[in-house]
Amino acid sequence: MTVQEALGEGSSLLASPALETAKIESPGLDAALLLAEILHTNRTQLLIIGKDKLSQENYCRFQKLMKRRLDGECIAYILGRKEFRGLDFLVSPAVLVPRPDTETLVEAALGILKREKRKEKREKNKILDLCTGSGAVAIALKHEMPELELWASDISPGALALAQENCVKHQVSINLIESDLFCAIQGCFDLIVSNPPYVASDEIKSLAPEVQREPRLALDGGEDGLDIIRRIIEEARNHLLPGGALLMEADPKQMDTIIGELEKHGFKENRTFQDLSGQLRVVGGLIH
């Protein structure tokens, strides 16, 4: 069997309408990523070596990875990594897979930080990333603004261990803290960012099977999805310096309620930010 034939077989399997799991959106891409992983190459190179023979050993390894994908395991967990904002992050079932939507949180944070820096007031450089997971948001911020002083926290020891690995991988220094939101957090910050659990408990069963395999602790936001967000808003004002900002990722349909909560707890200039698909994805405000 050639590389091209194996790729075609894999694509057809992943595209099968008889799959017991939910429909796989990109069967050709997924098959190519898995085969490229086996051959220690990339998708472009697969086209060049398409007529080369695939060894029986590599074919068997490809079949094993394909079975994991057919069983509903996401590509990121199978490969053990995911790209986020141009950086390659280690991922595992201990953390949510970083998604392009969350890059909106990084963009919004950078916009605030750079705008405040131009004002030549106090430097906005002390940042806290709550529910950091793999550390993707905190590391992306540190990568783009190395002068930032960053803390990142998570309730999960497994997530923090992976975040530490990613800090080492990207050669950045971030203070990692095991904490249930603000419980172990001391001091105040210029900016607090968070991608918290915000899926309503009853909606989790309707998520794609591969998403349901991600840690429930990082998904489940309670009855209406806002339990953790309400806690963050209520407690954040005690950990923000005057003029400090809070930014959170959330579901588009939750935005009006969240803005109401921000206003109730004294946040001003509350606003939302759109993701690449035009959906409202990030919300936040300032403490004066």
Residue with tokens 């249930």: 180
CATH ID of 3-72, from 3.30.160, 3.40.50, 1.10.10, 1.10.8 = 1.10.8
Is residue 86 left, alpha or beta, with left meaning phi > 0 and alpha meaning psi from -120 to 50? Answer: left
Contact 97, 82 (CB under 8 A): yes
Distance, in Å, from the CA atom of 2 to the CA atom of 59, rounded to the nearest integer, reads 10
Range(s) within the chain of domains with CATH label 3.40.50.150: 93-286
Is residue 222 left, alpha or beta, with left meaning phi > 0 and alpha meaning psi from -120 to 50? Answer: left
Distance, in Å, from the CA atom of 268 to the CA atom of 120, rounded to the nearest integer, reads 21
Q: How big is the chain by its Cα radius of gyration, in Å? A: 21
> DSSP 3-state assignment of 142?
helix
Contact residues for 86 (Cβ-Cβ < 8 A; gap 6+): none
Q: Determine the pLDDT at residue 28.
A: 94
Res. 25 pLDDT band, cuts 50 70 90: confident
- Which of 159, 165, 168 lies closest to 95, judged by CA? 159
Residue with tokens 């992976």: 162
Distances (CA, A) of 257 to 233, 261, 272: 12, 6, 12
Q: Kindly report the average pLDDT of the chain as a whole number.
A: 93
Q: Determine the pLDDT at residue 214.
A: 94
Res. 4 pLDDT band, cuts 50 70 90: very high
Res. 114 pLDDT band, cuts 50 70 90: confident
Contact 75, 208 (CB under 8 A): no
Which superfamily, per CATH, for 93-286?
Vaccinia Virus protein VP39 (3.40.50.150)
**Residue type at 196 in one-letter notation:** P
Distance, in Å, from the CA atom of 75 to the CA atom of 77, rounded to the nearest integer, reads 6
Distance, in Å, from the CA atom of 243 to the CA atom of 18, rounded to the nearest integer, reads 56
- Cα dihedral 58→62→68→72 (10° resolution): 170
**pLDDT tens-digit readout, 43-59:** 999 999 999 999 999 99
Output phi, psi for 208, to 5 deg: -55, 145
**pLDDT tens-digit readout, 264-276:** 999 999 999 999 9
Looking at the chain, the whole-number percentage of residues with pLDDT higher than 90 is: 87
**For residue 191, what are the β-bridge partners?**
127, 245
Distance, in Å, from the CA atom of 216 to the CA atom of 214, rounded to the nearest integer, reads 6
Res. 188 pLDDT band, cuts 50 70 90: very high
CB-based burial label for 217 (10 Å; 0-12, 13-18, 19+)? middle
Range(s) within the chain of domains with CATH label 1.10.8: 3-72
